Structure 1
Amino acid sequence: MAHDNWSLMALLPLEIFDLVSLWHTYRIPIILTTFTILIILRTALHIRASREKGIASLPPSPKFSIERKGFLGDTKASEKAPRRIVGGLKKRNSLGENATPEDQKVQVLVFFSSLTGTTEKTAKLFTEQVIKSQADSAVFHEAQLLDLSYIDYDDYFITPPKDKSSIQYFYIILIPTYNIDTVLDNFLEHLRETHNDFRIDTAPLARLLGYSVFGFGDREGWPTEEEGFCSQAREVDKWMAKLTGRKRAFPLGMGDAKTDALERLREWREGVEDVLANIAETGGLGEGVVGSGDAVESDVEDEDVAEDGGELLFEEQTLARRKTKAQKSGLNDLEDIGGTLNKSTSMSDSSEPLEIDFTTYSKGAQPPSPAITKEMVPKNSPTYDALTKQGYSIVGSHSGVKICRWTKSALRGRGSCYKYSFYGIASHQCMETTPSLSCSNKCVFCWRHGTNPVGTTWRWVIDPPELIFEGVKAGHYKKIKMMRGVPGVRAERFAEAMRIRHCALSLVGEPIFYPHINAFTAMLHKERISSFLVCNAQHPDQLAALNPVTQLYVSIDASNRESLRRIDRPLHRDFWERFQRCLDILRERRFEQRTVFRLTLVKGFNIDDEAEGYADLVQRGLPAFVEVKGVTYCGTTSSAGAGLTMQNVPFYEEVCAFVEALNTALARRGLDYGIAAEHAHSCCVLIASTRFKREGKWHTRIDYEKFFELLESGEKFTPEDYTGPETPEWATWGNGGFDPRDERVHRRGKNKVALTESQGALMKGKD
């Protein structure tokens, strides 16, 4: 190989041969010299650049400053002097890094809460005015109005809505303040929990363009802000400032509902509209906007002192942040309840029980809360007025009783409800009551129109069970006596109605929410009153501690997590886990008492393609019975706001088709169930375990006397031990379920006719 190389070199010209020889001889000095020269050049260039940068950073000369300020009268006089910006970096364009306002769209969302309807009307008018003011702008989508009672907070107050990348959102919140527990308490708790949740970003709503809050108050009840004027609005404003990264676009507005609320709202709206106009022009809130984050305007929202570039922000507010304002318990409703408000509720009674936490059943014990003396439903509250107008008798501070339409119907011989067909309960001898008017769900089909209190913890005065028991009986009998002069009431049934034999703990709210529910049911059983208790599957600890009742219901309103969230709108974050745990508890107790799954079918929500899902839930809980009932529409504005209309009410034929599909799905899983009975008039069908089928006949009714004997014996017993007589033929599947001894009266002037088998089969859910 070496021979070949020398042969090739021999062919090269003499000059090239000499260069190659020189390179091999001096290559090391050449490389070192070249490297040294490059290092020297690089160092010289670096020194020169540093010197130029230092000169550029020096302050301007006096002459330059004078010229900039305009004292020399030249062309530079019109230029502004450089500004020193204190408080952080310049804010980005809220519409995007490179976007212009014309490229983006702004969606204004107006949130409100209303109990008596006044704030709702004001919010609607306000939204119309905002829409009108933006009519000539191509930047804005039409403003939307949203009721806080009918939205999922996770969709709006953990992250902004995710529709299109080109849409930015601006929140406007209009709320009154109440002296009772309402959805606003839950809303505030949600904001507080979101801010304190370590899994969520400190400012998860920072992508909002901005927000602003207006509160309606009553200075007659609360003369000053320190004494509680618009306290809930101020709390919302504080937490929104934290969650948005201080994007308060306009200061908190407040108005007295009795005097100047509309005038103050008009002024505040004009200010908000100016901010929105500025957003449309510049794409952001700008810098130095009044109310865009100063801590003094939001009380203690800046407890965690912010730092930016080594300069302490808002340091002059240190003293203000240390001030803590005591929460007033004597809060008055500040919407439109006038001079009947309570102004003297006290928090000084330390003998009251501590708040009971029902929120996190699976977590460790929480520290005790301060003593609570607030009433759930004060007599001078709008909740009390709303419930009494609906026919409730309020007992104590948190219980209620009411007679249903089936009680009135049975007294007149026009038929009892499905409980008579299925279980032998005569409606005119049944008392419908609840020891807790508060609930932890906001179901779209709730009959109470959102007027009952809501909450995840018991934080009210606790009435003794003796007071509730005697009070609800007195209230029930009083209402029965009022039926004495109603035409058509049968004397023998009126006499029977004066002896309560059954109690349906399903009126409103959550019965097992009441801390002394076992003592209350014991009083019922002592007087040989059967107990039919309905719970919403959100309180597993209380359900597990419940003593046996005659029949235990769990509401199963959806077959999956998403449907349950849309229909029941639960307040608990871990609602699905709670729900599943309650099903497990029913499975564990299925041989101690009769257990029932109650399915309320809402067309468009939980019927289509969900029979298989419900079958899985039945397989998990193995209840004794499954009641399938079509929803009853109340025809209220609140229901419409929740997305429920008459179109969501299934016809009876649709309910029957669903029941057959569910029964088939159960059989496919090898579960021993069958369709046992029906009550077409209630749009209700009963699926029963074959445990209650003897010699080919269904025995779904209850031997109530036997139940009390077994209960009093103190011995263990099973549901089969107090199974009653055979289910009547007229109540079984395919026969309508209307008692032939009664007569059916059609509405709208139709003649009274006995319900026949064919009529029962054709009844619709709305009847």
Structure 2
Amino acid sequence: MSFQNWSASSSEISDLPLYAVELWHEYRVPIILTTLCFLGILRIYIHQTTDGKSELRALPKLYQPETTPQPQDAKTVSTVKDKQETSVAEKNDTKKQTAANAPRRIKGELPRKAQGQKEEEAKASKIQVLIFYSSITGNTEKIAKDFAQTLSASLATPTGSSEAEHAFLAPRIVDLSEADYDEYFITPPKVLEDEHGERSGEAVDLFYLFLLPSYNIDTINDNLLEHMQETHHDFRIDTSPLSSILGYSVFGFGDREGWPTEDEGFCFQAKEFDRWMAKLTARKRAYPLGMGDWKREGLTRLSEWQTGLTEVLKLVEQTGGLGEGVEGSGDPLESDDEADADEDDGEVVFDGSTEPGAPKQKSSGSIEDVEDMGRIMADGSAATAPAPIAIDFTTYGKTTAKPRKTQPLAVAKEMVPKNSPTYASLTKQGYSIVGSHSGVKICRWTKSALRGRGSCYKYSFYGINSHQCMETTPSLSCSNKCVFCWRHGTNPVGTSWRWVVDPPKMIFDGVRENHYKKIKMMRGVPGVRAERFAEAMRIRHCALSLVGEPIFYPHINEFLGMLHKERISSFLVCNAQHPDELAALQHVTQLYVSIDASNRESLKRIDRPLHRDFWERFQRCLEILRERRFRQRTVFRLTLVKGFNVEDEVEGYADLVEKGLPCFVEIKGVTYCGTSTSSSAGLTMANVPFYQEVCDFVVALEKALHKRGLKYGIAAEHAHSCCILLASERFNVEGKWHTVIDYEKFFELLEAKGPDGDFTPEDYMGPATPEWATWGQGGFDPRDQRVDRKGKPIEI
């Protein structure tokens, strides 16, 4: 082939794609129609020639008319039956594969079990009845123990059945002040712990019973009610997290003398418990709410309630459920309308200038855009006679809400009313209640110092005369229920301030007046020294550590300002559970934070905090103290309790000191108060460490701090208080410890630079610590005389 012919052929080949495209655009319609016709004819041919003439699978029949069955022989019937079973199996397999690949659908209802399956599971599993109670004085605790024994006897094995078939375990009593809310009221435990704290491998079904007295002060009842409400409205938690339990029932104790009628408050907290438990359990009320007057027929009503409850429990044992026809088995109308007003999803109507008696328009079911709502209302008000605007905020139909009674506006109540049992209990213990939430009490060391029998550790460490010290608090409420608290567990509890707030001026005048009254009562006590009695009539120091949480008071800074204006020094003790209030606190003479444990589990066990995020709050308070270590004298207060926070926790405490870097660390052995509250928390005299054990702990802690490069040393001791002081090297000048405070210098700095002024703890550091108070000297004031319990002098 010549070069010219080859060149012409190449140009023709390169033009072929363009030519093919032109042909396709010109003849594409007839080509497509021809192809479809051919495929259709081929499909019909294959369908007619296939054996058995099976149905088309590409286009399934949407409707198939009924045909009259024709008589067939046995062989044909068998063949058809086999084909039908095969077809059904294939369809089921297809559905299973589709369901596995499809998104999971969550239905808004609990799975229902067959009655036979319920009975079988009821016989196989054990039923654990939990009896929850709350008590301030201890009466309900005794009633709960007696009730548990009586209930256990009534649920005994019936005649004719063996012990192995008995489904009920021994009822267990749970004190609400010690219970873990997350464990019992968010995710019920499937396996309970035994007496030794170990979990058995046997799963149980739970049944909740409540024995609750109602108090007109804030107690653990209010805290648990608040927890229930938060749980129900928490979007992260199912609205009915307790639906897995078998059922519940509540019995309330009240006093008709204080609350004559139910509407005015008789057993009002028990009614609230019943209402919230109905929500959290998806309405599994096993027996109606019982109520009784504990001064009159309370035990009789409790016995009647127990009789009906026993019948329900035996029915649960037989059938595995509450059954049908049982009173209170879930009917929402049985209790006072268990739907809250804020959960009303009914129609909301904005009334315009409609004529009286005009019929109300129903919602059309459409939802207006929220941003357009203001425009619609404005247009409606501008018109002459507009129709009422009906706005339906629901997305699904619901039954018409019942009319509700108009509730009065919530009024803040007093923390400790004068007619409350807490007021009576605290005044009996020697407290003077000031206003509705403050208190003052004379300390035993004040009495001792007046008679020359020794002062407390504050005099040995910081130079404070005990007979010139006032112990008070502007808040009797606390957010912890510490096992070693010597306040007998009678003070109110709470996680947030929701009471009447007394002005700081009234509190200051009230506590000072009542303190002087108590000092004057000491003038007739044998042995009181006249010169110290005269000095005691001039308060020089205030210890804000009486009871409760003083930093909880909303006007704590104003109260501190009044103390400092009178040149009264301030030692404020907080429990490391209120970081926001701690961050807003102004200057105090010395700031304490209670460090009762070195880890989360131990802190929860010994402090029994009410806050669910107690450990995070604790850590944040340590960070705040670290930030303030050059602006205030900061102190870690460690209370040692054997069996709780002493063994193997030295390293953990050293880590906390490293994080907070306080100026001082006070280590003190717990003081046993011998109350029933302490014994119920597992605290006895065996938990009180000997002074030598405290000394050994302090020496070990000092070594652990030195190992971390922290410069702390043992600065002082007061053996009589079982207390030892570790101090930072910042307060060691020329080989001598200077832990005493120059109070006059502190007030001068405060007046010159203000309550938020910038001055350091070293600026008001006082003279050297007395030699008799240093480590190894005992720390007893040489001016005084130690005596034994009978008042006889002790020769040292």
Give the conservation status (yes or no) of the 8 Å contact 2:118–2:319: no
1:745 match: 787
Aligned: 1:101 with 2:145: no
Q: How does 1:709-720 map to 2 (within 5 A)?
A: 709-714=748-753, 716-720=758-762
Instruction: Indicate whether 1:149 and 2:177 are aligned.
Output: yes
In structure 2, the residue matched to 1:57 is none
Of the three residues 764, 768, 771, the one matched with 1:729 is 771
- State the distance in 2 between where 1:30 and 1:156 align: 68
The match for 1:284 among 321, 326, 336 is: 321
Structure 1 contact 402–433 (Cα < 8 Å) conserved = yes
Whole-Å Cα distance in 2 between the matches of residues 703 and 121 of structure 1?
52
Task: Please state if 1:537 is matched with 2:537.
Answer: no
Q: Does 1:606 align with 2:645?
A: yes
Deviation for aligned residue 1:324? 5.1
Give per-residue Cα distances to partners, 1:459-486, cap 9 Å, x unaligned.
1121111111111111111111111121
The amino acid that maps onto 1:573 is: R
Query: Structure 1's 38 and 119: CA in aligned 2 closer, same or farther, altered over 3 A?
Result: same
CA pair 464-50 structure 1, distance change in 2 beyond 3 A:
farther
Specify whether residues 290 and 495 from structure 1 end up closer, same or farther in structure 2 by C-alpha distance, changes over 3 A only.
Answer: same
Deviations 1:216-256 (A, max 9, x none): 23344444433333221111011111111211111111223
Gaps of 5+ in 1: 1-27, 53-86, 307-314, 328-346, 348-369, 756-767
CA contact (8 A) 1:377 1:383 kept: yes
Deviation at 1:202, TM superposition (A): 1.9
The match for 2:708 among 663, 669, 676 is 669
* 2:130–2:206 Cα contact (<8 Å) kept: yes
CA shift, 1:90, in A, is: 8.6
Pairing 1:377–2:416 present: yes
Q: 1:323 aligns with which of 404, 415, 427?
A: 404
Q: Report matched runs for 1:27-426 at 5 Å.
A: 33=49, 36-37=52-53, 39=55, 91-92=112-113, 99-136=120-157, 138-163=166-191, 164-302=201-339, 318-320=400-402, 322-323=403-404, 326=407, 372-426=411-465
Question: Any idea what the Cα deviations from partners look like across 1:241-298, whole Å, max 9, x if unmatched?
Answer: 1111211111111223344322221111111111111122222222342201111123
Greater Rg by CA: 2
**Matches of 1:188 and 1:35 in 2, distance apart?**
74
- CA drift at 1:720: 0.5
- Following superposition, the deviation at residue 422 of structure 1 comes to 0.9
Residue 275 of structure 2 aligns with an amino acid whose one-letter code is K
Structure 1 residues 689, 94: CA separation in 2 closer, same or farther (over 3 Å shift)? farther
Q: Please tell me whether the aligned partners of residues 672 and 688 of structure 2 are also in contact (alpha carbons under 8 angstroms).
A: yes
CA 1:96–1:607: 2 relative to 1, 3 Å: farther
Deviates more, 1:257-266 or 1:468-477: 257-266
Q: Is the 8 A contact 2:545 2:573 kept in 1?
A: yes
Query: How far apart are 1:166 and its partner, in Å?
Result: 2.3
Structure-2 change in CA distance of 1:403 and 1:724 (3 Å): same
**Letter of the structure 2 residue corresponding to residue 238 of structure 1:** R
SS at match of 2:312: helix
Deviations 1:627-653 (A, max 9, x none): 111111211111122232222222222
| Shift, 1:608, TM fit | 2.0
Pick from 487, 492, 495: which aligns with 2:534?
495
- The one of 604, 611, 624 equivalent to 1:572 is 611
Does the CA-based 8 Å contact 2:718-2:778 persist in structure 1? yes
Question: Which residue type is aligned with residue 323 of structure 1?
Answer: R
What is the CA-CA distance between 1:100 and the residue it aligns to?
Answer: 3.6
Superposition deviation, residue 50 in structure 1 = 12
Query: What are structure 2's unaligned runs of at least 5 residues?
Result: 1-43, 70-107, 158-162, 192-200, 346-396
Tell me the alpha carbon deviations over residues 654-688 of structure 1, each in whole angstroms, 9 at most, x when there is no partner. Answer: 22222122211211111111111111221111111
Deviations 1:284-334 (A, max 9, x none): 22234220111112334245699xxxxxxxx998444x525637xxxxxxx
Q: Give the secondary-structure state (helix, strand or coil) at the position aligned to 2:609.
A: coil
Q: Of the candidates 464, 468, 471, which is equivalent to residue 432 of structure 1?
A: 471
Partner-residue secondary structure (3-state), 2:132: strand
Following the alignment from structure 1 to structure 2, what is the Cα–Cα distance between the partners of residues 753 and 420?
21
Residue aligning to 1:363: none
C-alpha distance in 1 between matches for 2:66 and 2:127: 46
Give the TM-score, by structure 2 length: 0.76
Report the residue type matching 2:608 in the other structure.
R
The 3 A distance-change label for structure 1 pair 176 and 34 is: same
| Distance 1:754-1:273 versus aligned 2 partners, 3 A rule | same
Equivalent residue letter for 1:428: H
The change in CA–CA distance for 1:741 and 1:605 in structure 2 (over 3 A counts) is same
Q: What's the TM-score once normalised by structure 1's chain length?
A: 0.78
Looking at structure 2, the residues matched to 640 and 590 of structure 1 have their Cα atoms a distance apart, in angstroms, of: 38
Q: Distance in 2 between matches of 1:681 and 1:119?
A: 38
Distance 1:325 1:754, change over 3 A: farther
Letter in 1 for 2:666: E
Is this contact kept in 2: 1:95–1:284, CA < 8 A?
A: no
CA distance in 2, matches of 1:458, 1:688: 35
Alpha carbons 1:692, 1:698 under 8 Å: kept: yes
Matched, 1:510 2:540: no
Q: Classify 1:50/1:260 alpha carbon distance in 2 versus 1 (closer, same or farther; 3 Å).
A: farther
Match for residue 640 of structure 1 among 679, 684, 687? 679
2:491 is the alignment partner of 1:452:
yes
Deviations 1:511-540 (A, max 9, x none): 111111111111111111110001111111
How far did 1:175 drift?
Answer: 0.9
Q: Distance in 2 between matches of 1:390 and 1:419?
A: 24
1:367 corresponds to:
none
Identity of aligned residues (%): 70
Change (3 A) 1:292 1:489: same
Q: Tell me what 1:687 maps to.
A: 726
> What corresponds to 1:55 in structure 2?
none
- Residues 155-207 of structure 1 show CA distances to partners (whole Å, capped at 9, x for unaligned) of 21112234245211111101122222111110100111111111222221122
- Of 498, 507, 510, which residue of structure 2 is paired with 1:468? 507
Q: Distance in 1 between matches of 2:306 and 2:495?
A: 34
